[in-house]
């Protein structure tokens, strides 16, 4: 009877070990799937942030070109104003206001660029960490399958 109980106990321990092993393999498989999803989302975020960054840079550059153009017009209008053209004086004031708006826009665009750079950097870090997690989960799964 004692021998029978010993065998029964050994069989129960082995059965629980096999069940735990199967659970680990399933968990590793689930972790791999989740890490792949996270990595895909991070790559999507990286691409979106890069597009935003490029748009903000294009806006900033366009505003800088507008300022140069407006400054050239302002010079011509101020010369005409000195010659006594009242309409040119009014135009010069409008151009000054437009230059001020463009300078504010450049500041806002630069702020957006800086925020997008930060977001892009964070997303790249997240993607890197997800790659590391995925690699570790694959390694764990392989070790579980090979009994190490």
Q: Write the pLDDT tens digit of every residue in 70-93.
A: 999 888 888 888 888 888 888 888
Q: Compute φ and ψ for 84, nearest 5 degrees.
A: 105, 10
Total residues belonging to the chain? 148
Reduce the DSSP state of residue 1 to 3 states and report it: coil
Percent of the chain with pLDDT over 90: 32
Burial class (CB in 10 A: 0-12, 13-18, 19+), 1: exposed
Assess contact for 110 and 60: CB atoms under 8 A: yes
**Residue-level pLDDT at 51:** 93
**Residue-level pLDDT at 5:** 61
Q: Which domains are assigned to the chain?
A: 2-145 (1.10.287)
Q: Give the Cα separation of 143 and 146 in Å (integer).
A: 5
Q: Compute φ and ψ for 83, nearest 5 degrees.
A: -80, 0
Residue 1 has pLDDT above 80, yes or no: no
Least trusted range by pLDDT, from 24-28, 44-48, 66-70, 106-110: 24-28
What integer is the mean pLDDT of 108-130? 91
6 versus 58: which is more confidently predicted? Answer: 58
pTM above 0.85, yes or no: no
Assess contact for 89 and 5: CB atoms under 8 A: no
Residue 54 has pLDDT above 90, yes or no: yes
**Residue-level pLDDT at 84:** 83
Q: Give the Cα separation of 76 and 121 in Å (integer).
A: 45
Q: Compute φ and ψ for 85, nearest 5 degrees.
A: -85, 110
């Amino acid at each position: 009877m004692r021998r029978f109980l010993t065998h029964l106990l050994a069989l129960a321990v082995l059965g629980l070990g096999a069940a735990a092993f199967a659970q680990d393999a399933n968990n590793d498989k689930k972790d791999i799937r989740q890490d792949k999803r996270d990595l895909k989302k991070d790559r999507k975020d990286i691409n979106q942030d890069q597009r935003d960054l490029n748009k903000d840079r294009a806006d900033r550059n366009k505003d800088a070109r507008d300022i140069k153009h407006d400054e050239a017009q302002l010079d011509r209008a101020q010369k005409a104003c000195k010659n006594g053209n009242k309409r040119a004086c009014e135009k010069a004031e409008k151009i000054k206001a437009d230059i001020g708006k463009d300078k504010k826009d450049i500041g806002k665009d630069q702020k957006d660029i800086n925020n997008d750079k930060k977001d892009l950097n964070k997303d790249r870090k997240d993607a890197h960490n997800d790659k590391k997690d995925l690699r570790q989960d694959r390694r764990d799964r392989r070790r579980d399958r090979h009994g190490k």
